[in-house]
Structure 1
Amino acid sequence: MSAEIVIYVVSDSAGDTGEIVVRAAVAQFHPVYADIRRAPFVQDEGTIEKVLDKAKAEKAVILYTLVIPGLRDYMARRAAEEGVAAIDVLGPLIGSLESQTGIKARQEPGLNHVLDADYFRKVDAVEFAVKYDDAKDTTGVMKADIVLVGVSRTSKTPLSMYLAHKKFKVANVPLVPELRLPPELFKLPKHRIVGLTIGTHYLNIIRKERLKALGLPDNAPYATTERIERELAYADDVMQRLGCVVIDVSNRAVEETASLIMECVRGNGLSRGE
């Protein structure tokens, strides 16, 4: 049975680092679901107090990446006083680096977000993933570094966004028997396409949970075994025609699947933005 934990990511910058750490850790506890709530650009003790109040009421965990020493010390002290589990990600490392190098930390939030060429490539890739998600605009198929294909609920969108943060431009195409495939798909080199498949049992559970989340009965045709088997058979046929690599996402975290995709892509000599 799945469980849920609320985790507040508190940062005096955007909070990207903290969220990445949380997701990497939670992936080790599948099927635990983490409700990650960011508190970014924290600049005062009052904001910390508000987060502590919420976390205490919800029995949540706080993970913080505060580089300003005063805020970091305040969070540690007040969390201990309130009995809230709070994890300091950067403090111990910054202290060790200061000790080893003899150099005082700059104590400036957001230095890892310097607006360099790398940053803008990431922004472009994220915008690309949003624009060409779910084949809303099929022209993206020919422009993408990677095209993901698969039936509904095989993590195409989360994977597109994750890979975008690795600076890959990703488009994804849903495989639905009733929908016409974009002809552009068959013009692509097969090494630019990755097929996503999943076990019938896993997909049945995921789709039922999705229907429940939408307030719909879980016995709708979308989640029936018969419908799922039909879709997967259709998807398998399409992937064979495309000649693409196929990855089974059953019981795999997004990060693990993304790592496999990047291995495949790099193994074929494709780098970001080619």
Structure 2
Amino acid sequence: MAIPVVYVISDSIGETAEFVAKAAASQFNSGEIEIRRIPYVSDEEHLEQVLSEASEYKAVVAYTLVVPALRQRLAEIAQEKGLIVVDVIGPMLEALGKVSKTTPRLEPGLLHKLDDEYFRKVEAIEFAVKYDDGKDPRGVLYADVVLIGISRTSKTPLCMYLAHKRLKAANIPLVPEVAPPEELFKLPPRKVIGLTIKPEILNPIRQERLKALGLASNADYASMERILHELDYAENIMKKLGCPVIDVSNKAVEETASKILQIYYRGDRNEK
């Protein structure tokens, strides 16, 4: 007795229909069932060739085609050739269309486009964590954007926010006692964005930070003299780099991130 054959036809990769076919085949103990996946069937000529071949094996045809014209043509050919066909995705599209009262986009491969976006986001988040707070300055060479600024200018939360927008963001703290990494000066100015803040706003923020750490709020870290010194130092570094500068005073992370994205995508170097 010939081994049953299943042709899996898709206008994308075809993994979904193949998985369903394998899951069904696993329920039978009457010998092997051969599954042949035919991906990227995007025109009627290719479809007709595949179905003609499938008919020679009296194969079952499982398909995930979202383009209506291809689905209709497959049904016509299958009827002509007496093929058994299984529409893997069609019933779900119809059901979701009814409950959502919307029309599906009918674009092949959307699931994998979404997967790609997801993995790019994960990669960007991992990048932000790895190269946070200047842990490894070599990372700035591989970043889409590098944020620089003194302590408590929202560098880390901004990098994480940008990572969710699929941008690889690194950040470098500017401290007068520590020279900036050489890698920073190798970058084109458009990839570096300076963050600054008004001293009278930063002062209470740093005091609260010290309290959270269980330290005296009058420590040098939160003194106005120290803050002004750090801001002057950072301003000089940013001028040397020639990078755009954003004042984060009283700005939500989302608002600052929006300005960073404008600079990155549009080359808008003027802080507004």
Question: 1:100 deviation in Å?
Answer: 3.5
Q: Which amino acid aligns with 1:171?
A: A
SS of equivalent to 2:175: coil
CA distance, structure 1, for counterparts of residue 160 and residue 207 of structure 2: 24
After TM superposition, give the deviation of residue 216 of structure 1 in Å.
1.1
CA distance in 2, matches of 1:248, 1:102: 44
The answer for the alignment partner of 1:186 in structure 2 is 185
Aligned match of 1:149: 148
Alignment of 1:127-166 (within 5 A): 127-166=126-165
2:232 aligns to what SS in structure 1? helix
CA distance in structure 2 between the partners assigned to 1:255 and 1:99 by the alignment: 31
Give 1:114 deviation, angstroms: 9.0
Cα distance in 1 for partners of 2:222, 2:112 equals 42
Q: How does 1:51-200 map to 2 (within 5 A)?
A: 98=99, 100-101=101-102, 116-200=115-199
TM-fit CA distance, 1:171: 0.7
Q: In the alignment, which residue of structure 2 is the partner of 1:74?
A: none
The residue number in structure 2 matching 1:209 is 208
Q: CA deviation at 1:268?
A: 2.6
Shift in Å, 1:98: 3.4
Contact 1:126 1:169 in 2 (8 A): yes
Q: Which amino acid aligns with 2:190?
A: H
Larger Rg: 2
Deviation, structure 1 residue 214: 1.1
> 2: CA distance between counterparts of 1:228 and 1:211?
14
CA distance in 2, matches of 1:98, 1:215: 55
One-letter amino acid of the counterpart of residue 207, structure 1: R
Q: Is the 8 A contact 1:149 1:194 kept in 2?
A: yes
Which runs of 4 or more aligned residues in structure 1 lie more than 3 Å from their structure 2 counterparts after TM superposition? Answer: 97-103, 112-115
Instruction: Check 1:124–1:220 CA distance in 2 against 1; reply closer, same or farther (3 A cut).
Output: same
2:194 is paired with a residue whose SS is strand
SS at match of 2:137: coil
1:121 and 1:256, CA in 2 relative to 1: closer, same or farther beyond 3 A?
same
Paired position in structure 1 for 2:65: none
- The residue aligned with 1:36 is none
Q: What is the count of residue pairs matched by the alignment? A: 168
Give structure 2 stretches of 5+ with no counterpart: 1-97, 105-110
* 3-state SS of paired residue (2:177): coil
Relative to the length of structure 2, the TM-score reads: 0.58
| 1:50-87 deviations in Å (ceiling 9; x for gaps) | xxxxxxxxxxxxxxxxxxxxxxxxxxxxxxxxxxxxxx
Letter paired with 2:189: K
Q: Aligned equivalents of 1:198 and 1:113: distance in 2?
A: 42
Q: Give the alignment of 1:193-272 within 5 angstroms.
A: 193-268=192-267
User: Matched residues in 2 for 1:256 and 1:212: separation?
Assistant: 27
TM-score norm. by structure 1 comes to 0.58
Q: Tell me, which stretches of 5 or more residues in structure 1 are unaligned?
A: 1-96, 104-111, 270-274
Q: Determine the C-alpha separation between the residues in 1 that align with 2:151 and 2:200.
A: 14
